[in-house]
């Protein structure tokens, strides 16, 4: 059943290129191109004062941007979203920096964006809001009398009910989310956490299949694991040579690709790799770990130390193990073109995806899609990535247990061709069944089936 109205997508940043690249962005672009509609997000530019929506592109659908002021950028984006919600949802309550003024700016920005959206909404439009920047946006729209179908997708993990009290007001989360008709989460563990959180609310009634009532609101919660465009990655990987890697003949390549973020488990990974090197038998082939980790959110306090920590860990592992023709850890802080990344995935014998907490982790999926089926590499995957629920062919690790991770690296590098192929085929089947187009279609179909709400 398709909705009659337009699709309105809201995300933190709006792409500015005519034909955007990158998995999620491409999928939303395609969904909007097919249905017609509007994409709204922040421009990334800072304005002197809050202003109206600016139309930045029109064609099969329109794109509208709003600018944040400097105070909004600090309080909303750097502050509450990335210094409270991000660490809390990634089980790092120790890194939370709660400033009451920033919480207010977060709510104010959500209110302001709700006002901008309400100004362009038409009856029958369906709104799909993305991520933790906009948790209260649905509720803010309802306060303005919006009765349209509102869907929300959280890209990061849903906090366990025992972590939620770290929010200044434990009850805000169920109340914010009750503004939506459909809440999409990455994994079934997230759905359980969300339902458990409502289970603690006296006015909530938990039904079957993720349906629940909260006060006068009815909503549905479901797992919609985000996927990738499998053929796009595979084609790019086949077509692109990653360039001269300067590895001595016979050197194996292990790869890590992450935004530089404390949730990605990079120090534990370097530690495990150092332990793996330390336990090598004489004559065993050399392996280089190529870690690509461009910095992100450098203005947030909790991100300042990771870079130095990694550089110093890489320095000490290299100091201990390097040879004239071998650098065991190579650490690149640059963003790479997507096709070069795809070529690197294919070239790597092993990929280390070892986050301490992660909504899904698309690198894990991209790595598998990029492999040559005749000689596929091995994926080492943390139990704590949402992808672990789906990618049963990965070698699973606990990122905190660096000794076992070291052993997993060793076993992965020694795995037989038959075992690697069986694991690859099983994971490819899952990637194809739940690709990025499945994700957009499944979420939007489910949202279109939600009953319309009556708003007083
Ligand atoms: P992220 O935390 O950014 O996303 P991830 O899912 O791995 O994590 O996505 C990263 C994307 O950026 C991948 O497509 C990857 O190819 C790309 N990328 C990373 N490093 C790069 C580099 N150096 N050069 C070029 N491209 C690079 C959040 C959540 C995840 C969730 C996604 C999507 O934290 O858990 O999977 O959203 O929902």
Residues with CB under 6 A from ligand 1: 23-24, 155-156, 226, 257, 259, 292, 294, 335-336, 341, 358-363, 366
Residue 235, number of CB atoms within 10 A of its CB: 15
Q: What is the mean pLDDT of each run of 10 residues along the chain (456 residues)?
A: 77 82 78 89 93 89 96 96 95 90 96 97 96 97 97 96 78 94 98 95 94 95 96 94 82 96 97 97 92 89 87 96 95 90 96 98 97 98 98 98 98 98 98 95 96 76
Q: What angle is formed at CA 29 by the lines to CA 232 and CA 444, rounded to 5 degrees?
A: 100
Nearest to residue 89, comparing CAs of 204, 198, 190, 191? 190
Report the alpha-carbon distance of residue 334 to residue 22 in Å, rounded: 16
Residue 345, number of CB atoms within 10 A of its CB: 25
For domain 230-433, the CATH superfamily is Glycogen Phosphorylase B; (3.40.50.2000)
Dihedral Cα 22, 437, 28, 153, nearest 10 deg: -100
Residue 8, classed as helix, strand or coil, is strand
Report the alpha-carbon distance of residue 46 to residue 265 in Å, rounded: 32
Distance 360 CA to ligand 1 centre (A): 9
Contact (CB, 8 A) for 326 and 108: no
Q: Rg of the chain's alpha carbons, rounded to an integer?
A: 23
Distance 27 CA to ligand 1 centre (A): 15
Pick from 130, 133, 257, 384 the residue to mutate for probing ligand 1's pocket: most ligand atoms within 8 Å of its CB. 257
Distance 24 CA to ligand 1 centre (A): 10
DSSP 84: I
Report the alpha-carbon distance of residue 391 to residue 277 in Å, rounded: 27
Q: Which residues are catalytic?
A: 155, 358
Report the alpha-carbon distance of residue 194 to residue 220 in Å, rounded: 11
Domain with CATH 3.40.50.2000 in the chain: 7-227+437-448, 230-433
Nearest CA to ligand 1 atom 14: 362
Distance 440 CA to ligand 1 centre (A): 18
**Of ligand 1's atoms, which has the minimum distance to the CA of residue 363?**
7
What's residue 287's pLDDT?
Answer: 97
Residue 369 in tokens: 């899609």
Within 13 Å of residue 391, how many CA atoms lie on the same side as its CB? 33
What's residue 22's pLDDT?
Answer: 66
Nearest to residue 357, comparing CAs of 165, 194, 172, 187? 187
What's residue 28's pLDDT?
Answer: 87
Q: What angle is formed at CA 396 by the lines to CA 371 and CA 270, rounded to 5 degrees?
A: 85
What's residue 456's pLDDT?
Answer: 59
What's residue 147's pLDDT?
Answer: 96
Residue with tokens 């990655």: 233
**Of ligand 1's atoms, which has the minimum distance to the CA of residue 385?**
35
> What distance, in Å, lies between the first and last C-alpha atoms of the chain?
27
User: Burial of 83 by CB count in 10 Å (0-12 exposed, 13-18 middle, 19+ buried)?
Assistant: buried
What's residue 2's pLDDT?
Answer: 45
Q: What angle is formed at CA 328 by the lines to CA 325 and CA 331, rounded to 5 degrees?
A: 115
Pick from 25, 361, 436 the residue to mutate for probing ligand 1's pocket: most ligand atoms within 8 Å of its CB. 361
Strand partners, 128: 9, 151
Within 13 Å of residue 161, how many CA atoms lie on the same side as its CB? 12
Report the alpha-carbon distance of residue 293 to residue 277 in Å, rounded: 21
Contact (CB, 8 A) for 40 and 157: no
For domain 7-227+437-448, the CATH superfamily is Glycogen Phosphorylase B; (3.40.50.2000)
Report the alpha-carbon distance of residue 151 to residue 164 in Å, rounded: 22
Contacts of 174 (CB under 8 A, 6+ apart): 197, 198, 201, 204, 214
Sheet of 350-353, strands arranged across: 329-332, 287-292, 252-257, 350-353, 378-382, 395-397
User: Between β-strands 287-292 and 252-257, what pairing exists: parallel, antiparallel or unpaired?
Assistant: parallel
Cα–Cα separations (whole angstroms), residue 277 to 63, 115, 272, 355, 398: 50, 57, 9, 21, 19
For the whole model, what pTM was predicted? 0.96
Nearest to residue 181, comparing CAs of 371, 377, 446? 446
What's residue 426's pLDDT?
Answer: 98
């Amino acid at each position: 059943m398709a909705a009659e109205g337009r699709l309105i997508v809201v995300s933190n940043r709006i792409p500015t290129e005519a034909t955007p690249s990158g998995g999620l962005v491409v999928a939303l672009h395609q969904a909007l191109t097919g249905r017609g509609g509007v994409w709204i997000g922040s421009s990334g530019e800072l304005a002197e004062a809050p202003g109206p929506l600016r139309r930045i592109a029109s064609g099969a659908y329109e794109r509208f941007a709003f600018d944040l002021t400097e105070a909004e950028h600090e309080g909303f984006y750097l502050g509450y979203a990335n210094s409270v919600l991000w660490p809390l949802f990634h089980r790092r309550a120790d890194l939370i920096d709660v400033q009451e003024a920033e919480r207010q700016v977060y709510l104010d920005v959500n209110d302001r964006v709700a006002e901008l959206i309400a100004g362009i909404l038409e009856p029958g439009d369906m709104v799909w809001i993305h991520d933790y920047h906009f948790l209260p946006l649905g509720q803010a729209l309802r306060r303005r009398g919006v009765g349209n179908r509102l869907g929300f997708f959280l890209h990061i993990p849903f906090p366990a009910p025992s972590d939620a009290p770290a929010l200044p007001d434990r009850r805000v989360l169920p109340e914010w989310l009750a503004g939506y008709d459909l809440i999409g989460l990455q994994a079934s563990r997230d759905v359980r956490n969300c339902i458990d959180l409502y289970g603690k609310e006296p006015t909530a009634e938990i039904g079957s299949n993720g349906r629940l009532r909260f006060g006068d609101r009815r909503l549905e919660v479901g797992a919609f694991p985000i996927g990738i465009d499998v053929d796009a990655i595979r084609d790019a990987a086949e077509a692109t040579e990653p360039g001269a890697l300067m590895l001595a003949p016979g050197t194996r390549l292990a790869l890590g690709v992450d935004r530089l973020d404390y949730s990605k488990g990079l120090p534990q990974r370097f530690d495990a790799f150092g332990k793996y090197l330390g336990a090598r038998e004489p004559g065993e082939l050399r392996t280089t770990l190529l870690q690509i980790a461009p910095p992100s959110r450098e203005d947030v306090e909790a991100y300042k130390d990771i870079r130095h920590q990694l550089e110093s860990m890489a320095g000490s592992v290299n100091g201990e193990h390097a040879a004239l023709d071998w650098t065991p850890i190579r650490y690149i802080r640059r963003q790479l073109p997507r096709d070069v990344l795809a070529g690197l995935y294919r070239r790597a014998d092993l990929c280390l995806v070892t986050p301490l907490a992660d909504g899904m982790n698309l690198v894990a999926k991209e790595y598998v899609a990029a492999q040559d089926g005749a000689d596929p590499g091995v994926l080492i995957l943390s139990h704590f990535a949402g992808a672990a629920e789906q990618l049963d062919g990965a070698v699973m690790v606990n990122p905190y247990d660096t000794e076992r991770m070291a052993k997993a690296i060793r076993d992965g590098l020694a795995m037989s061709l038959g075992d690697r192929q069986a694991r690859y085929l099983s994971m490819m089947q899952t990637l194809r069944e739940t690709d990025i187009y499945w994700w957009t279609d499944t979420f939007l179909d489910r949202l279109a089936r939600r009953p319309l709400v009556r708003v007083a």
